[in-house]
């Protein structure tokens, strides 16, 4: 049993390192999380979660890269990216229980740890530190989102592009520009013009 879990724990070490930055967990809580998690490998360009289904799993990106996307008037819009060592979930579905009109697509061959939300929320009753951990994680995500509103509300497209490059210098090498442009709230053509100016 020890070996079994120590094996799993080493698979999941990067996730627990990430968790520990928010909230330390008791060994029992860590074990409880390990017991509900599973690994998922998805190749490039495949969907990890498809549009129309209700979000029932939170994923930790072990390596690779994914995006949340949806269609607006037939156009493919990227809502957000998730690089390795971060969480990804369609929260507007996760927290409302309604089907999501968004999907998660893998942009580089990727490995995820899937955390089933129903099981996780049950653990909240048994392990206070797990509820606290995810409270803090989503508070931080909330703050990021508020800051992004500010960016979309009153920064020019060029300012937003420059900021993105500062935040994620590797993004140009890893993500097609068409996804970057919709993430910034502009067209591909417009982004191409901005890049030509710089």
Contact partner at residue 131 from DNA, a second copy, none, CB < 5 to 8 Å by partner kind: a second copy
**Nearer residue to DNA within complex by CB, 168 or 188:** 188
185 binds DNA (CB under 7 A): yes
157 binds DNA (CB under 7 A): yes
Beta-carbon contacts of residue 69 (< 8 Å; ≥ 6 apart): 76, 77, 78, 79, 102, 103, 104, 105, 179
d(CA 166, CA 130): 33
135 binds a second copy (CB under 8 A): yes
CB 170 → DNA: shortest distance, Å? 14
Beta-carbon contacts of residue 82 (< 8 Å; ≥ 6 apart): 59, 61, 65, 66, 67, 68, 88
Quick one: which of 8, 56, 136, 178 contacts DNA (CB under 7 A)?
178
Q: How many CB atoms lie within 10 A of CB 54?
A: 14
Which tokens in the block code for residue 38? Answer: 């599973």
**Nearer residue to a second copy within complex by CB, 176 or 185:** 185
Quick one: which of 31, 108, 129, 158 contacts DNA (CB under 7 A)?
158
Quick one: which of 14, 86, 151, 188 contacts DNA (CB under 7 A)?
188
Which tokens in the block code for residue 159? Answer: 């300012």
d(CA 23, CA 57): 21
Quick one: which of 5, 23, 138, 195 contacts a second copy (CB under 8 A)?
138
Which residues in this chain contact a second copy in the complex, by CB under 8 A?
A: 70, 72, 75, 77, 79, 91-92, 95-96, 124, 128, 131-132, 134-135, 138-143, 145-150, 152-154, 182, 185
């Amino acid at each position: 049993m020890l070996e079994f879990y120590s094996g799993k724990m080493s698979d999941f070490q990067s996730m627990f390192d990430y968790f520990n930055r928010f909230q330390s967990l008791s060994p029992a809580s860590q074990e409880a999380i390990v017991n509900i998690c599973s690994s998922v490998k998805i190749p490039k360009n495949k969907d990890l979660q498809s549009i129309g289904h209700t979000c029932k799993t939170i994923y930790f990106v072990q390596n690779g890269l994914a995006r949340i996307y949806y269609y607006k008037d037939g156009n493919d819009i990227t809502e957000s990216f998730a690089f390795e060592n971060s969480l990804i979930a369609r929260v507007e579905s996760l927290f409302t229980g309604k089907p999501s009109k968004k999907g998660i697509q893998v942009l580089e061959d990727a490995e995820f740890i899937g955390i089933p939300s129903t099981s996780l929320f049950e653990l909240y009753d048994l392990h206070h530190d797990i509820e606290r951990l995810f409270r803090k994680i989503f508070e931080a995500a909330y703050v990021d989102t508020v800051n992004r509103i500010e960016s979309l509300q009153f920064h020019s497209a060029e300012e937003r592009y420059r900021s993105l490059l500062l935040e994620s210098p590797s993004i140009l090498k890893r993500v097609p520009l068409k996804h970057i442009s919709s993430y910034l709230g502009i067209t591909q053509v417009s982004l191409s013009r901005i890049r030509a100016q710089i």
